[in-house]
């Protein structure tokens, strides 16, 4: 028996790769590097979908992406705590919300051997969740990090 592949005419075929722009930088080299890596992983996941790769590969990469996100969220928390980000509590709530969504998506896509369009859409939703967070919520602390970096240390 062979593994199932992504259904023909997967919606990922329509999605161009995401391109990193300097405007997305937050001012923290470590976090920006992690964002770039996650963007590469998101593009790889989208590429696997559009190529109709075997489903287990897509599930595996989705799990790895989720794990990298959780690690990134922890790194981000440390940076924001050290810089005394005043909106940290709300940002951390957003992280927990995303982690729950990612876990739900992984449960959905891991439960099937033969993906339907619904599972493919779930993977694409994973992509959109992360993009939305990085380019809406993370960019929101950019000015804070830049200001805190330029303030004198005690």
DSSP string of 33-70, one letter each residue = HHHHHHHHHHHHHHHHHHTT-BHHHHHHHHHHHHHHHH
* Residue 123 counted as domain residue: yes
Span 47-60, pLDDT tens digits: 998 888 999 999 99
Q: 127 near 58, Cβ under 8 Å?
A: no
104 pLDDT higher than 80: yes
Q: Containing domain of residue 98, as a range? A: 27-150
24 pLDDT higher than 90: no
pLDDT, the chain, mean: 87
> Radius of gyration (Cα) for the chain, nearest Å?
17
The per-residue pLDDT for 67 is: 96
The per-residue pLDDT for 1 is: 39
* Residue 34 counted as domain residue: yes
Q: How many domains does the chain have?
A: 1
Q: In terms of pLDDT, which residue wins out, 132 or 13?
A: 132
* Residue 7 counted as domain residue: no
Residue 57, domain CATH: 1.20.120.50
Q: 102 near 126, Cβ under 8 Å?
A: yes
The per-residue pLDDT for 28 is: 92
Band of pLDDT at residue 6, cut at 50, 70 and 90: low
* Residue 36 counted as domain residue: yes
The per-residue pLDDT for 11 is: 56
Q: 12 near 120, Cβ under 8 Å?
A: yes
* Structure tokens, 141: 């602390």
* Residue 5 counted as domain residue: no
Band of pLDDT at residue 136, cut at 50, 70 and 90: confident
61 pLDDT higher than 90: yes
Residues 6 or more apart in contact with residue 114 via CB below 8 angstroms: 4, 55
* Residue 39 counted as domain residue: yes
Separation CA 113–CA 90 (nearest Å): 37
pTM of the prediction?
0.84
* Residue 17 counted as domain residue: no
* Residue 129 counted as domain residue: yes
Q: What is the mean pLDDT of residues 87-116?
A: 94
14 pLDDT higher than 50: yes
């Amino acid at each position: 028996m062979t593994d199932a592949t992504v259904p023909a005419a997967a919606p990922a075929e329509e999605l161009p790769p995401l391109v990193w722009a300097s405007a997305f930088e937050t001012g923290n080299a470590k976090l920006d590097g992690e964002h770039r890596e996650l963007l590469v992983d998101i593009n790889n996941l989208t590429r696997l979908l559009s190529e109709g790769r075997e489903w287990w590969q897509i599930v595996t990469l989705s799990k790895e992406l989720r794990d990298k996100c959780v690690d990134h969220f922890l790194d981000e928390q440390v940076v924001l705590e050290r810089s005394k980000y005043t909106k940290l509590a709300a940002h951390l709530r957003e992280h927990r919300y995303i982690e729950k969504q990612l876990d739900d998506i992984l449960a959905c896509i891991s439960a099937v051997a033969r993906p339907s369009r619904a599972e493919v859409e779930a993977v694409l939703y994973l992509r959109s969740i992360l993009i939305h967070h990085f380019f809406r919520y993370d960019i929101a602390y950019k000015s804070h990090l830049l200001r805190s970096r330029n303030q004198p240390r005690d």
